[in-house]
Structures are given as structure tokens and as C-alpha cells.
């Protein structure tokens, strides 16, 4: 897929104010500071489209980006770190989970995993929740340029092994680096293929 245009549409905390569910959507989510904004900017080849920050938990809204006037890339708040009140965190979780579970045009959830780390409980729990809801998802291992290929492969293998405790079939996965554009074509081609089968059925 060639990304010709990428436009910020809106930020929201209300499902009712999201764009009409008439185009395929792909939700990007991961632990805070997993490199989500950098990955989005790399995929769209538009530096600064998604705001990057050294402060984990900076994304606090659902952000919609309209790609090629064909589909939406949806930037969701990270989980697991943000320094916010417990009540606000619970509101976020409820809002995000409602979006993921009820959004008719959501085609796939792209779960970002830091490839430098051993399997993290919070990531596994989130994948298990997606599985329990029957939501399609793929894994994107980020920051692969920060270590050797051998170390990345080892951590990916450990994560897949941990998932096998809950899943009969391991989801498709991609290894990426925002620095050197590793995995860019693979992720965009995956989205392109899913788009081909999109049918508006409501």
C-alpha cells in the first residue's frame, strides 16, 4: 500500500462523537511508552502526525486519522502506566473497551509489544481479553532496532509461548522499527488485504 494522504480527523472520549462507522478502522494500542506514536508516524510517512512524547501515557483520547480517504487509523490511549487517578483510569478502560467491543467498522486491533522485554503480564491479559471477546488482533513488536535480531526473536518466541496457554492459534505478528522502517510494508500490506474484504453490513 502506498500512503498518499494521512489526515487527523478528531480526538474524542465519547463514542457518539466518533466518525460514522462507514470505513474500515484499525486500532493501535499498547502499553504506555511502547512507541505507538512513532510507529504511526513511520507507517504514514508523516512526521508529527501522532504526537510523540517522553512522558508515558500522553495519549488520553481516541484519535482518528483518515488514510488515503479509504480507512481510519485509530490511536488509542496506552495502558499500564499513565499517572492519572484510579477513577479516571477506570473511565478510560471502560471507554476504550466499549469502543473495541462495539465499534461496527473496527476490522482489527494492532497490539503493540516492546520487543526488548520478556512477556509482560499486562500485555498477555489484554490479548486474553480480546480473545474472550472474539476480537481479531495481530501483534506488532516494536523497537527491534534497539537490540540484536537474536534477542528480538527470543522475546517474540517467549511471548508466543505465553499466549499458547490461552490460544489454540497464535495471531499473526510483525516485527517493526520506527527508526529504520522495518515492517512498514508488511503492516500496510496486511491492512490493504483486510480492506479488500470490508463490507458495510449495517
Nearest partner of 142 among 183, 114, 122, 170, judged by Cα: 114
Tell me what percent of the residues of the chain surpass a pLDDT of 90.
75
Structural domain contains residue 115: yes
Residue 201 resides in a domain: no
Cell reading at 201: 453490513
Cβ of 148: how many Cβ atoms within 10 Å?
A: 9
Following CA atoms 37, 40, 44, 45 in sequence, which dihedral angle do they give, to the nearest 10 degrees? 50
Tell me the three cell numbers of residue 122: 499486562
Evaluate whether residue 1 is within a structural domain. Answer: no
Does 174 or 77 have the greater pLDDT score? 174
What residue spans of the chain are helical by DSSP H? 36-44, 86-102, 121-132, 149-163, 184-196
In this structure, is residue 10 part of a structural domain? yes
As a dihedral over the C-alpha atoms of residue 124, residue 130, residue 24, residue 111, rounded to 10 degrees, the angle is: 0
Could you tell me the pLDDT band of residue 22, with boundaries at 50, 70 and 90? very high
CA atoms within 13 A on the CB side of 196: 6
| 95 vs 66: which has the higher pLDDT | 66
Please report whether residue 45 resides in a domain.
yes
Range of the structural domain that residue 181 is part of:
6-196
- The CATH number of the domain where 158 resides is what? 3.40.50.300
DSSP 3-state percent helix, strand, coil across the chain (nearest 5)? 35, 25, 40
- Looking at residue 137, what is its pLDDT? 98
How many structural domains comprise the chain?
Answer: 1
Tell me the pLDDT tens digit for each residue of 117-145: 999 999 999 999 999 999 999 999 999 99
Partners of residue 62 on adjacent β-strands: 12
pTM of the model: 0.92
Q: Is residue 26 included in any domain, yes or no?
A: yes
Lowest average pLDDT, out of 29-38, 60-69, 88-97, goes to 88-97
pLDDT tens string 35-88: 999 999 999 999 889 876 555 455 568 899 999 999 999 999 888 755 666 776
Does any domain span residue 101?
yes
Amino acid at each position: 500500500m502506498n500512503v498518499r494522504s494521512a489526515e487527523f480527523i478528531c480526538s474524542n472520549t465519547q463514542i457518539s462523537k466518533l466518525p460514522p462507522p462507514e470505513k474500515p478502522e484499525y486500532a493501535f494500542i499498547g502499553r504506555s511508552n511502547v512507541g505507538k506514536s512513532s510507529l504511526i508516524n513511520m507507517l504514514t510517512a508523516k512526521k508529527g502526525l501522532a504526537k510523540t512524547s517522553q512522558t508515558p501515557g500522553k495519549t488520553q483520547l481516541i484519535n482518528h486519522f483518515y488514510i488515503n480517504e479509504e480507512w481510519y487509523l485509530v490511536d488509542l490511549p496506552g495502558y499500564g502506566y499513565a499517572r492519572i487517578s484510579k477513577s479516571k483510569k477506570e473511565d478510560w478502560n471502560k471507554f476504550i473497551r466499549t469502543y473495541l467491543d462495539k465499534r461496527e467498522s473496527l476490522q482489527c486491533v494492532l497490539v503493540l509489544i516492546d520487543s526488548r522485554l520478556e512477556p509482560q503480564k499486562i500485555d498477555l491479559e489484554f490479548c486474553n481479553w480480546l480473545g474472550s471477546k472474539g476480537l481479531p488482533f495481530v501483534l506488532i513488536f516494536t523497537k527491534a532496532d534497539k537490540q540484536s535480531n537474536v534477542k528480538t526473536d527470543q522475546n517474540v518466541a517467549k511471548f508466543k509461548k505465553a499466549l499458547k496457554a490461552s490460544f489454540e492459534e497464535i495471531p499473526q505478528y510483525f516485527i517493526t522499527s520506527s527508526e529504520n522502517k522495518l515492517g512498514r510494508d508488511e503492516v500496510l500490506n496486511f491492512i490493504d488485504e483486510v480492506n479488500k474484504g470490508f463490507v458495510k453490513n449495517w
